[in-house]
Structure 1
Amino acid sequence: MTEGRVNESNGCGIRRRIRYDRRAEEPPSIAAAMALAQYYGDDVTAASTQLYDYIDPDALDSLFAETNRGGSRANGTVEFETDDAVVTIRSERVDVRPLD
């Protein structure tokens, strides 16, 4: 399993904010799944919330992949909602917060 770093803020419990710092070699889809599992307090292999129920993991990884010219898309951001959370994905991290 991957070893990204999770930072929690705003108290404890299921409605906390999660910040997952992604390693450079870790696909964004794996980082998002890890952050969601942490948010819900689940084991990522048995998580109740599946990433593919909300976003295509392959398409997500493609959005952050190197370009044909060898450049990166480091400034991009993808945001989507689950039933009760907002997930924001950047090249270096994933943030999960409660829906307002």
Structure 2
Amino acid sequence: MSKRSSTNRTSVHDEVQYERDDDEPLTVAVAEAVATYRGVDVIDLEPLHGAIDTGALERLFDSRAGDGRTTGTVAFEYDDCLVTITASGTIRVEPAPS
């Protein structure tokens, strides 16, 4: 398995805000938001589970369980981006801090 270099990654946007659909898995929404930010296909991204525990992320904001969080924010770096997720379902993608 080859490791991709991230030194030449660029974005097509300064920032992307992505509003997640209620029935859309959070991990899928994160990948879509980052792919949009990068201007690439989702399959060209690094695996999300390499940046964050995807199961824990889904459980943290799982509204289908009936007791989903109504407040809170999680931020993490993924694929040279800073991803910020709010309990309201907004996903913001911007450049990772240098």
TM over 0.5: yes
What SS class does the counterpart of residue 84 from structure 2 fall into? strand
Q: CA separation in 2, counterparts of 1:61 and 1:50? A: 15
What SS class does the counterpart of residue 16 from structure 1 fall into? coil
* Equivalent in 84, 93, 97 of residue 96 of structure 1: 93
Q: Report the Cα offset of residue 36 of structure 1.
A: 1.1
* Equivalent in 36, 39, 58 of residue 61 of structure 1: 58
Bigger RCO (CA 8 Å, 6+ sep): 2
What SS class does the counterpart of residue 30 from structure 1 fall into? helix
Q: Report the Cα offset of residue 25 of structure 1.
A: 1.3
TM-score, normalization: structure 2?
0.74
- C-alpha distance 25-86 of structure 1, shift in aligned 2 (>3 A): same
Mapping 1:73-84, distance limit 5 Å: 73-82=69-78, 84=80
Structure 2, unaligned stretches of length 5 or more?
1-9
Q: CA separation in 2, counterparts of 1:58 and 1:81? A: 17
User: What is the one-letter code of the residue matched to 1:48?
Assistant: L
What do the CA deviations read for 1:30-55 (whole angstroms, capped 9, x no partner)? 111111111121111x2233211101
Q: Tell me the C-alpha RMSD between the 2 structures.
A: 2.1
What do the CA deviations read for 1:46-88 (whole angstroms, capped 9, x no partner)? 22332111012111101012497x3220212111013532100
Count of equivalent residues: 86
Structure 1, unaligned stretches of length 5 or more?
1-12
